[in-house]
Structure 1
Amino acid sequence: MRPMLPGLSRSTSPAAIHANRFIIAMTVTLASVLELLDTSIVNVAVPHMMGTLGATLDEIAWVSTGYVVANVIVLPISGWLSSQFGRRNYFALSILLFTIASMACGAATTLESLVMWRIIQGIGGGGLLATAQATIFEVFPQKEMGTAMAIFGMGIMAGPALGPTIGGWLTDAYSWPWIFYINLPFGIVALLLTLIYVPDSGLQQKAERIDYIGLILLAVGIGTLQTMLERGEKQDWFQSGEIITLVIVSFVSLYTFVIHELETEHPIVNLRIMRDGQFSAGLLYAFLTGAALYCTIFMFPVYAQSLMGFNAFQTGMFILPSAIATAIALATTSKLVARGVSPKVLIVLGTVLFCYSMWQHNHFTTESGAGDFFWPLVLRGLGLGMVFVPLNNLAMSNVEAIEIPGASGLYNLTRMLGGSVGIATAATSLGHLQQSERLHLVEHLAGNDPAAMGRLAQLKQILIGRGIPDAMAQIKAYAVMNMQVEKQVTMLAFAKLFLWFGVILACALPLLALMRHNRYSQSVDLH
């Protein structure tokens, strides 16, 4: 048995683990929520950080980029690290590192120290997601796996959604350091519960030697890829020498990494798991699901705040019913899967609901309000919630129990990369769509369109009625018309983007043909 901290005791017998399985699930989910919350909570505090630290927008962006890059580097190797140090010790150390770094981030007085501690925070946080999922897969019997994954899924999907709301409230009510200090009490609770309840894996095997070459190649490849995705839009993509360099370095590093991992005897990431067609199809589905999830979480707040004029807290309240709907869907689908309902049926139904929601998003207008957002957002939450548990079960159903930590790391990494690629693509596409729609609308104005000219004359008369001279009223009418055109252009661009998000998830449906439901092919019931 591994050493314990003084004053803490626990039973690692199969009976005790089984009795405490729901406490274990909530413990590892709490830690995962903290990790995911911090991927988005800083975004609303960026202007305040810039003012306090005297940083430019490009400089302060590293507060977010450094955290995410550290996350995605650690994710795929979390299974290997868990085997090296013991799963319980590694999970506890990750929470401790994350919590200490959170306190240091809040106390940072320079940009350099804040970025450094955010990277350390990301290293700690990256070890939480995959280790949490692997722990759940091992401590729960197969028949309760749907319920366990529903508990985990609530945290996975609620964390990124609630980040901007909580961050906005803390920043407005107190100050930006509190978006980091809020982690301290929850981190301490998660750490204590981990030390008391979370068991070591009964299946892990320590590698005979460390694959340093694979570790370096992975860190460079994933780090440069994520940096490219984070900075691409700001640097105008392939018009920038920096972005081109990042792409080349990432491609060469990852290509070499794959070859090395397939040939070495003790790989740091076991890519041989991907020989299972069902798991590989699940990875691709997870990539597209991640794109749909993170894109909608990222773009709707931008739409609500920049176009509709709502603040962060109001936007968060709009999103709250969606998060509740997701929790309901997760709980319901877990029960249905446990009772033998086909995961494929649930995934198809969830995808249809999500696509219908995006079709409703496509019909938002500049006059839309809170009532118009409610049902589309609820259906979005229900759809994504219905996909999460069945997809996890299908993807992992053929994976051997001993390979689950590594497979879980790859699965979560793939979903996060899907989100990163999706957000980067959406941000770029929004600009292109705005330009296209602007050209289309300006054609009507330039061509003396009767409706446009009538609106312009109406605006001019309103301004004249307010006592503005004729010549000045004409200029102001054009200015007001231009503002209305820009607002309409942005609205049309967002509408098309929302529709594309539905198409993205719909494109994943054919992958279900490569996957079959095998409820008892994998037994991780050690009780």
Structure 2
Amino acid sequence: MSPLKRQLLILTVILAAIMELIDTSIVNVALNYMSGNLGSTLEDTSWVITSYAIANVIIIPMTSFLSNRLGRRKYYIGSIIVFVFCSLMCGQATSIWMLVFFRFWQGMGGGALLSVSASVVYEMFPKEKLGTASALFGIGVFIGPTIGPTLGGYITENYSWPWIFYINVPIGIAAAISCYFLLPELAIRNKTSKVDWWGIIFLIVGIGSLQTVLERGQTDDWFAATYILVLTITSVISLTAFMLRELSIDYPVVDLKVLKSKSLSIAAILTFITGMGMFTSIFLTPVIAQRLLGFSPSETGVLLLPGAVLAVFALIVSGKLLQSGVSPVLIIFVGFLCFIYFNWSMSQISLDTSARYITLKLIFRALGMALLTVPLSTLAVSSLKPQEMPQGTALNNMMRQLGGSFGISIINTYSARRTASHRVDLISHVTNDNAPTAERIVSYTHYFQQKGIGLFDAKLKAMKIIDLAIVKQSTLMSYIDSYFLIGLLFALALPLLLFVMKRTKKLPAGVVVSDH
């Protein structure tokens, strides 16, 4: 392949991956618009997010098998077509469940756009330049979820929510045409005649059940809901059966034996933690900015912009550092420190925190992501054989997505319970014996009386304002606790780097390989 064609192919698959990752978060800010337009409850509308996440996590670990079975070229182009068609149908949806249905199949098509894209990028570079390959693909991994809410907010504010799906159509068509002419078939294919149907069934049932539990648990009060309890048991049984089967047969749908690579195993765990930090920060920060600090969706997007721009350069720099022989352990360590500092800083905010403060702290979050994405991706595939890279990449990507699901689920539950706890503590101070509270109630009551409202109703309105202030403050305090919790998880994960340090060594070209 000529250099020009190689560059065009790399650009195409990275854009496809960005498109898929944008769709993981672009709908978040449009749920209220969808709910009103389709006449559904906000709870039912949230399945638009859940269905896509479930489909993504189911299909990502199967991408290596499907590429081998169907042929990578056919599977990848077919996945783009499915993604584009379902994007079009999502925009055309006339009911919430029609939207959820096509959103699920959009996620099934999108799975290949992440894992196969990564393996194609890695193939285009020699082994000694895996750092550069990881940096290029890392740009897509970082930019997609980061700009998703901003892009979604702009589109829904200025156009209408179906356009968050329609924008995929021209990009997807261009990507499919480009891949038709440029994407080569796998050099090595394992076209076994046997299909691991039981493995596929166990994977779909297990991952689908687990993802549903994580996405819906807090909304439906966890095990108080019978279906959550049933799905939890189902996921444990199915995933246990899946792992036992995949490790014992010669033709697994997901080759878990690649996890014997210590570098892949450690990278997968650290990627899981990184996914938690990446997705929870994208979830928490816009919520705080818009609901508590009063920022518009556009203003919230501006908060994320400086960090996103700097992260692109940091991704390239981290790839160059790896190539020059800098230890990936050192880069990962600095990345974790950036995330720890970001979460600690955000645990110090108040209702008077400025946009400038949040923007500066988000730069550390962005730098942390940039410094982790490249070395972790490189580490994950560095000791794998070429035919094992697609499977290793798929498993590593799955861990990032699962980390995000676990992280958001944990934060949703933790913040809800901390909100209730903080509310009880704050209400205990709202008494007639508390001078500041009493003065404020009297002040609000006089204000409403001056507006012509009777004394009784004025007092009720004054107490309502106090209650709203308590809700706002207790919510903020719960989010502060959540940032601190995520920062603590990153700190607790740092000792894992000792295992990587013991099992890796530097080569002159900067490639990380396993000692085993």
Indicate the TM-score class for this superposition, using the shorter chain for normalisation: over 0.9
> 1:521 and 1:285 mapped to 2: Cα distance?
16
Of residues 62, 68, 71, the one that matches 2:47 is 62
Bigger drift between 248-257 and 433-442 goes to 433-442
> 1:96 and 1:475 mapped to 2: Cα distance?
58
1:70-219 superposed matches below 5 A: 70-219=55-204
> 2:273 and 2:242 mapped to 1: Cα distance?
23
The answer as to 2:232 corresponding to 1:253 is no
What residue in structure 1 maps to residue 299 of structure 2?
314
Q: Which amino acid aligns with 1:256?
A: A
Q: Which amino acid aligns with 2:403?
A: G
Q: Which amino acid aligns with 1:424?
A: S
What residue in structure 2 maps to residue 8 of structure 1?
none
The answer as to 2:212 corresponding to 1:227 is yes
**Displacement of 1:477 after TM fit?**
3.0
Bigger drift between 275-284 and 336-345 goes to 275-284
Which secondary structure does the structure 2 equivalent of 1:445 belong to? coil
- Alignment RMSD: 2.0
The unaligned stretches of length 5 or more in structure 1 are 1-15
> 1:129 and 1:506 mapped to 2: Cα distance?
29
**Displacement of 1:457 after TM fit?**
4.3
Of residues 38, 50, 60, the one that matches 1:53 is 38
The unaligned stretches of length 5 or more in structure 2 are none
**Displacement of 1:99 after TM fit?**
0.8
**Displacement of 1:364 after TM fit?**
1.3
> 1:467 and 1:52 mapped to 2: Cα distance?
38
Which secondary structure does the structure 1 equivalent of 2:247 belong to? helix
The answer as to 2:482 corresponding to 1:497 is yes
Bigger drift between 387-396 and 210-219 goes to 387-396
Q: Which amino acid aligns with 2:291?
A: S
> 1:427 and 1:76 mapped to 2: Cα distance?
26
What residue in structure 1 maps to residue 394 of structure 2?
409
TM-score (norm 2): 0.94
The answer as to 2:321 corresponding to 1:348 is no
Contact 2:505 2:512 in 1 (8 A): no
For residues 263 and 310 of structure 1, do their structure 2 counterparts lie closer, same or farther at Cα, with a shift above 3 Å needed? same
Contact 1:346 1:390 in 2 (8 A): yes
**Displacement of 1:18 after TM fit?**
5.3
> 1:193 and 1:415 mapped to 2: Cα distance?
28
1:249-328 superposed matches below 5 A: 249-328=234-313
Contact 2:131 2:323 in 1 (8 A): yes
What residue in structure 1 maps to residue 495 of structure 2?
510
The answer as to 2:24 corresponding to 1:39 is yes
**Displacement of 1:362 after TM fit?**
1.2
Contact 2:60 2:112 in 1 (8 A): yes
Q: Which amino acid aligns with 1:438?
A: R
Of residues 342, 345, 348, the one that matches 1:360 is 345
1:476-519, Cα deviation, whole Å (9 max, x unpaired) = 33322222222111111111111222222222211111212454
For residues 69 and 453 of structure 1, do their structure 2 counterparts lie closer, same or farther at Cα, with a shift above 3 Å needed? same
> 2:475 and 2:428 mapped to 1: Cα distance?
16
Q: Which amino acid aligns with 2:326?
A: V
Contact 2:18 2:140 in 1 (8 A): yes
Contact 1:296 1:501 in 2 (8 A): no
> 2:242 and 2:222 mapped to 1: Cα distance?
25
What residue in structure 1 maps to residue 223 of structure 2?
238
1:312-340, Cα deviation, whole Å (9 max, x unpaired) = 22211211122112212211111111111
For residues 521 and 471 of structure 1, do their structure 2 counterparts lie closer, same or farther at Cα, with a shift above 3 Å needed? closer
Contact 1:17 1:199 in 2 (8 A): no
**Displacement of 1:182 after TM fit?**
0.5
> 1:107 and 1:483 mapped to 2: Cα distance?
39
Counting aligned pairs with the same residue, the percent is 38
Q: Which amino acid aligns with 1:85?
A: L
Contact 2:277 2:339 in 1 (8 A): no
Contact 1:208 1:266 in 2 (8 A): no
Bigger drift between 306-315 and 180-189 goes to 306-315
What residue in structure 2 maps to residue 376 of structure 1?
361
> 1:462 and 1:52 mapped to 2: Cα distance?
39
Which secondary structure does the structure 1 equivalent of 2:192 belong to? coil
Which secondary structure does the structure 1 equivalent of 2:46 belong to? helix
Contact 1:135 1:201 in 2 (8 A): no
Contact 1:98 1:124 in 2 (8 A): yes
Contact 1:351 1:505 in 2 (8 A): yes
Q: Which amino acid aligns with 1:427?
A: N
**Displacement of 1:466 after TM fit?**
6.1
Contact 1:400 1:522 in 2 (8 A): no
> 1:354 and 1:63 mapped to 2: Cα distance?
29
Contact 2:263 2:513 in 1 (8 A): no
**Displacement of 1:419 after TM fit?**
0.3
**Displacement of 1:243 after TM fit?**
0.2
**Displacement of 1:24 after TM fit?**
2.2
What residue in structure 2 maps to residue 6 of structure 1?
none
**Displacement of 1:462 after TM fit?**
5.1
Q: Which amino acid aligns with 2:387?
A: I
Contact 2:322 2:511 in 1 (8 A): no
Which secondary structure does the structure 2 equivalent of 1:40 belong to? coil
> 2:240 and 2:121 mapped to 1: Cα distance?
32
> 1:141 and 1:499 mapped to 2: Cα distance?
41
Which secondary structure does the structure 2 equivalent of 1:384 belong to? helix
**Displacement of 1:259 after TM fit?**
0.7
**Displacement of 1:44 after TM fit?**
1.8
**Displacement of 1:198 after TM fit?**
2.2
1:419-434 superposed matches below 5 A: 419-434=404-419
1:466-485 superposed matches below 5 A: 472-485=457-470
> 1:202 and 1:454 mapped to 2: Cα distance?
77
> 1:52 and 1:472 mapped to 2: Cα distance?
36
**Displacement of 1:311 after TM fit?**
2.4
